[in-house]
Every structure is written in structure tokens, then in C-alpha cells.
Amino acid sequence: MNVSHSGFLIHTRKYKETSTIIHIFSRHKGIESLIFKGSFTNKDKFKFSLFNEYLFSYNDKYSFPYLSKFEIINSFPFDKKYYLLGLYVNELLYKTIREGYDYEKIYEHYKSFLVNLLKSSSSLKRLALVFEKSFIENLGYGLYMLNDKDINDNHLYSYDFDEGFKISDSAQNKYSLPGSALKQFFSNTLENSIHIDIIRLIIKRILNKHYENINLMGDKLF
């Protein structure tokens, strides 16, 4: 049966001598793998670009379907200074999203992320954190606190991977940060680079726990 739906190209690799396997992130099927026949030998035929939303068409009667047609639905021509960040987010999706599952919220969040890059002036670290925060929340692994209404600006808090954020007994804990920064994190207004690094370190630990020591090469670029 012929199938058409929207998605983003996030990864490619050579297949046999003449073709390419493209990995797309789709709204209701997660990561899908399609064969783009003849694309490796005919570069004019391979006109995909990252960070564009496409309408993909293929026949799903094969276990490894062949791409038959594609067209751009939306384009996101953000400034090239954000390109490495975009590659990192694509890598994060590629290594965590599974095939055959519905990821509508993450799909919409990814689109919003690309839209924000068109008008953002924030640092790469802050933009990465904003994406990561919502991403792990949608996966069900979000950072939390039993009662975030009781956060005291002057108290120090550390993250316990079983109990969430709680008041810390030691400033030496590398997962600790002040209550004022914690409030900013929960409201997506955190700007301090050191505190952003601490939160992102916690997120990496969470991802490593659930995805068998995931190694994200793109994260080392900023």
C-alpha cells in the first residue's frame, strides 16, 4: 500500500553500491528507514536538506520500503551559527527515538525548536537546554521536584536520581545549584552558563541511564 506522511531527514548512510538509506523522524512512526534507490551515484537526484519538513511517499508492503517521492512542506533557513546545534538535536533524536511509536508531542517540539532558531539570539547551550528539558519530559524522564512551590532562592539544591531535586547538604555535590537558578530552570529562563552546564550534566546522566550509555558526539561541539 502506498503511504504518504510528513517527516524530517535526520540521518543518512550508503546502501550497497548505488543507494542511500535515509532515516526520517515522523510524527506517528518515530524513526523510519527508507531506501533511496540510485541516489548515491546520481547526486542530482539526492536533493534532501536537513531541517526541512518533507512529505514522503513509499510503499509499505516491503520490510525495508523504497522511497518513491518527496516534496518540501516547510523550510527553516536559520542562521548557520546554529547548524551544529541542529546536528546535535538530530543525533539526539536518532539515538533515542524508536521505530513504530507515536511521538507527536516531540515532533511538534522539534518543529518549534527549528522555528525558534529563525529568531533566536540565545546561546547554543541555553537553546540546547530548552530543547533537552522538554524532550526528556515528553519521554517521561523529566527533572522534577516534589513541591517546586517551596523553592528557596538562597538554599542549595541537588538532584537525586530517585527523588528529584532536594535541599543539598553539601556545596561540593557537582549536581547542586541555588534555588534561584532552579526556579529559572523550571520557567525556561535560566541564563547562567555554569548552572546550565550542571543541569545538562544531570540530563546526560538520565539519558545514559535509559539508553545504555548513549554517546552524543554533537554535544562535544559546544
Cell of 170: 553539601
Residue in the block written with cell 542511500: 20
Instruction: Provide the CATH number for the domain formed by 122-221 in this structure.
Output: 1.20.1440.120
Is 15 in contact with 64 (CB distance < 8 Å)?
no
> SS in 3 state form for the chain?
CEEEEEEEEEEEEEECCCEEEEEEEECCCEEEEEEECCCCCCCCCCCCCCCEEEEEEEECCCCCCEEEEEEEEEECCCCHHHHHHHHHHHHHHHHHCCECCCCHHHHHHHHHHHHHHCCCCCCHHHHHHHHHHHHHHHHCCCCCECCHHHCCCCCEEEEECCCEEEECCCCCCCCEEEHHHHHHHHCCCCCCHHHHHHHHHHHHHHHHHHCCCCCCHHHHHC
Q: Domain spans of the chain?
A: 2-75, 122-221
Q: How do the pLDDT tens digits run along the chain, 222 residues long?
A: 788 889 999 998 888 888 889 999 999 999 999 998 876 665 555 677 899 999 999 887 777 888 888 899 999 999 999 999 999 999 999 999 999 899 999 999 999 999 999 998 889 999 999 999 999 999 999 888 756 567 889 899 988 888 888 888 766 677 889 999 999 999 999 999 999 999 999 999 899 888 876 888 767 766
So what CATH class is 2-75? mainly beta
